[in-house]
C-alpha cells in the first residue's frame, strides 16, 4: 500500500507490505533505484511488516535541498520518527542504501534493533575491482550535470547506458532473469527528479562507504555479500566483517551486486535466520 508523508516540506512516498505482522523491517534501496528494486526480497518475507520508501529525489519522493550523506541520514531519522512505531524496527540497506543505513546506525543506534546490509559498499568505490568503470561513471555524471537540463535528462536516461550498467552488474545466465533485470533498470533507473539530484547522490555514493563507521556500529549487523560482487570484492567484505564488532557475514555464491534481483530467496533466508536469533 502506498503512503506519502511530508518531512521538512518535502513529500516522501513509501510502501507498506504484510502490515499485520511483526517485527518491522525498513528497507532503503540503492543508487538510482526505487522501492521497486527490493520487491523480490519483500515478497519472500511475508512474515514481516515491511516499509520501503523511495529515497528523496528518486521515484515518487521529492528531492531534498541537498543530497549529501548528512542530509540523507537526517531524512531517514525524520522518516522513522514519523512512523510512530510501537517498537524500534530492523533497518536494511542495499548498496548505496548500505552507506546511508550504516551511518544512520552510528548516529541513532537506539532507534533500531538490528542492521542488515545487502551488497554493502565496504570499501572506496574508486579502489574496487570496477575502479576504472567508477572513474568513467564520474565523467558520465559530470557531463550530465554540465548539460542543459533537458539534454542532461536525456543523456542520463539513455537506454544504451542503462543497459550497459545492467549487463555489467548481472551475473545470472538465466535469460528470463536477465530480461527481468534489464526491464527493471529501464523502467526505474531514470525516475529521478532532476540531473542535480543524480549528480549529488552519485558523489555521495562514491565519497563514502560502510568501512568509515564500521567500528562504531554496536548493534547486531548482518552482511549479505555476493561472491562475484564487482563493486566491493569479497576479500573487502571479509575485512568489513572483521571491522564490525557484532556482525555476521553470509556470502551467496554465483551472484554479484544484484542479490536483490538474482538471489532474493537466499537473501531472505539469511534475513529470517538473523532476525530469529
pLDDT digits (tens, 9 = 90+) for 54-105: 999 999 999 999 999 999 999 999 999 999 999 999 999 999 999 999 999 9
Q: How many CA atoms lie within 13 A of 187 on its CB side?
A: 10
CATH number for 35: 3.40.50.1820
Residue 129 has pLDDT above 70, yes or no: no
What is the pTM for the complete model shown? Answer: 0.95
> Peptide bond before 226: cis, by omega within 30 degrees of 0?
no
Q: Give residue 143's pLDDT.
A: 81
Q: Give residue 194's pLDDT.
A: 92
Region 118-136: mean pLDDT is 75
Q: Give residue 164's pLDDT.
A: 82
Distance in angstroms (rounded) separating the CA atoms of residues 268 and 250: 11
How deeply is 191 buried, as exposed, middle or buried, from its count of CB atoms within 10 A (0-12, 13-18, 19+)?
middle
- Domain encompassing residue 254: 2-276
Residue 133 has pLDDT above 80, yes or no: no
Domains identified in the chain, total number: 1
Q: Give the cell for residue 251.
A: 556470502
Q: Which residues contact 223 (CB under 8 A, 6 or more apart)?
A: 117, 120, 122, 237, 240, 241, 244, 247, 248, 249, 250
Query: 128 falls in which pLDDT band (50, 70, 90)?
Result: low
Q: Give residue 20's pLDDT.
A: 80
Query: 131 falls in which pLDDT band (50, 70, 90)?
Result: low
Residue 127 has pLDDT above 70, yes or no: no
Residue 204 has pLDDT above 60, yes or no: yes
Amino acid at each position: 500500500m502506498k503512503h506519502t508523508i511530508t518531512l521538512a516540506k518535502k513529500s516522501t512516498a513509501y510502501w507498506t507490505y504484510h502490515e499485520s505482522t511483526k517485527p518491522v523491517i525498513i528497507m532503503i534501496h540503492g543508487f538510482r533505484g526505487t522501492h521497486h528494486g527490493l520487491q523480490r526480497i519483500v515478497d519472500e518475507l511475508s512474515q514481516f511488516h515491511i516499509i520501503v520508501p523511495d529515497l528523496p529525489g528518486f521515484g515518487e519522493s521529492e528531492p531534498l535541498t541537498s543530497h549529501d550523506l548528512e542530509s540523507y541520514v537526517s531524512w531517514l531519522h525524520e522518516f522513522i520518527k514519523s512512523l510512530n512505531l510501537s517498537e524500534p524496527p530492523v533497518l536494511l540497506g542495499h548498496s548505496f542504501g548500505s552507506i546511508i543505513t550504516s551511518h544512520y546506525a552510528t548516529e541513532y543506534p537506539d532507534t533500531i534493533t538490528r542492521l542488515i546490509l545487502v551488497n554493502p559498499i565496504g570499501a572506496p568505490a574508486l579502489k574496487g575491482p570496477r575502479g576504472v568503470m567508477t572513474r568513467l561513471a564520474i565523467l558520465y555524471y559530470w557531463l550530465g550535470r554540465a548539460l542543459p537540463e533537458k539534454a542532461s535528462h536525456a543523456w542520463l536516461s539513455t537506454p544504451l547506458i542503462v543497459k550497459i550498467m545492467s549487463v555489467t552488474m548481472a551475473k545470472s545466465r538465466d535469460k528470463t532473469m536477465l530480461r527481468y533485470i534489464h526491464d527493471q533498470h529501464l523502467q526505474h533507473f531514470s525516475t529521478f527528479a532532476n540531473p542535480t539530484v543524480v549528480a549529488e547522490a552519485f558523489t555521495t555514493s562514491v565519497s563514502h562507504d560502510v568501512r568509515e563507521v564500521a567500528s562504531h556500529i554496536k548493534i547486531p549487523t548482518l552482511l549479505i555479500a555476493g561472491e562475484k560482487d564487482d563493486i566491493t570484492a569479497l576479500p573487502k567484505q571479509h575485512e568489513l566483517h572483521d571491522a564490525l564488532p557484532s556482525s555476521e557475514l553470509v556470502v551467496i555464491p554465483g551472484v554479484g551486486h544484484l542479490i536483490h534481483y538474482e538471489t532474493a530467496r537466499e537473501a531472505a533466508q539469511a534475513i529470517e535466520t538473523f532476525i530469529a536469533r
